[in-house]
Amino acid sequence: MILSTTDTLQGENIQSYLGIVSAEVVYGSNALRDFFAGIRDVLGGRTAAYERVFEKGQRDALKELESRAKRLGADAVIGIQMKTDTINIDEHGVLMLITATGTAVKF
């Protein structure tokens, strides 16, 4: 399965467009990670713990996107876009949302 951000694939002839596929992953916040991220906000610098969460989330979203495209019989997903967002659940809790969307195609 080819996953690409481009809308065409060099050397491949797209025979059919199978439709838009999307995948979402949601991660809850972690009190200890939030505490250290808050310290980083005050002192400056990158927050490696959250960077790792987003990296894992992007990998998981792409893996799920691939799985959903395979169920459609796709050979590739093109035009992939990734989006990150947050969902506030109360005044203290935040969920991290990572979404991958693309077009499933058959060669």
At 54 the pLDDT is 82
Which CATH number goes with the domain that contains 95? Answer: 3.30.110.70
Taking the whole predicted model, whether its pTM rises above 0.85 is answered as: no
| Percent of the chain clearing pLDDT 90 (strictly above) | 56
Looking at the structure of the chain, the number of domains it has is 1
Would you give the DSSP letter of residue 30?
A: -
- The answer to whether residue 34 scores a pLDDT higher than 60 is no
Cα dist. 80→3, 42, 69, 93 in Å? 7, 35, 12, 29
List the domain range (segments joined by +) for residue 49: 2-106
In 3-state terms the chain splits into helix, strand, coil percentages (rounded to 5) of 35, 40, 25
Predicted confidence band of residue 44 (pLDDT cuts 50, 70, 90) = low
